[in-house]
Amino acid sequence: MGLSNISKIFPISLDNFFFRIVSQKHEKHILSTEGSRISGGRYNNPGIDGILYLGESKEVCTAEIKRKDPLFSLKYIIGKVEVKLDKVLDLGREENLKILGIKKEDLIKGEKAGEYKVTREIGREAYKKGYEALLVPSITGKGNNLVVFIPNLKEKSERVKLIKTSQVK
């Protein structure tokens, strides 16, 4: 894997809407990064603050939750989030994966934190290099996720903004 080449990838800009799904008990803190800090995520180790996971559509978010809660046993809230970023590492592009010496399968394999070695290394390196986010394929195959590095944003409140919430049915 050639993570030293990460700076050779030209970042993209994003000005779009993404979505975030949380259980109803977390409705008031829908943009909180506390969960990924405590448990870690596919692209960050536990203990790293300020990593926000979003889906490019409601369908992606719902599919991600169904992996963990197939019966939808909890009530969920989905938030529509406006995102305006200038330095996003797009890992959905084949040419970018080649620069890093990885394949798409390396990004979507594994279900447990112990299997996230490659993705967490990518996240750590992108974070250190000042990228604002990673655009990555969802493990569900339904679309992409956006992994936002909140500490790397300037004018944080204007770059990632909650627009509205609604109950998932």
Res 113: pLDDT: 58
Q: pLDDT tens digits, residue range 120-161? A: 999 999 999 999 999 999 999 999 999 999 999 987 667 999
Res 165: pLDDT: 96
3-class DSSP state of 92:
coil
Res 112: pLDDT: 66
What's the rounded Cα separation, in Å, for the pair 119 and 125? 10
Which own/partner pairs from 111-120 qualify as long-range (CB within 8 Å, at least 24 positions apart)?
A: 111/67, 111/139, 113/39, 113/40, 116/40, 116/41, 116/42, 116/43, 118/1, 119/42, 119/43, 120/40, 120/42, 120/43, 120/44, 120/45
What's the rounded Cα separation, in Å, for the pair 103 and 23? 33
The arithmetic mean of pLDDT across residues 33-53, rounded, is 94
pTM greater than 0.95: no
Identify the domain containing residue 22 by its residue range.
Answer: 3-167
The arithmetic mean of pLDDT across residues 26-48, rounded, is 93
Q: What values do phi and psi take at 134, rounded to 5?
A: -115, 135
49-58, 75-84, 112-121: segment of lowest average pLDDT:
112-121
Count of domains forming the chain = 1
Given a cut of 90, is residue 50 above it in pLDDT? Answer: yes
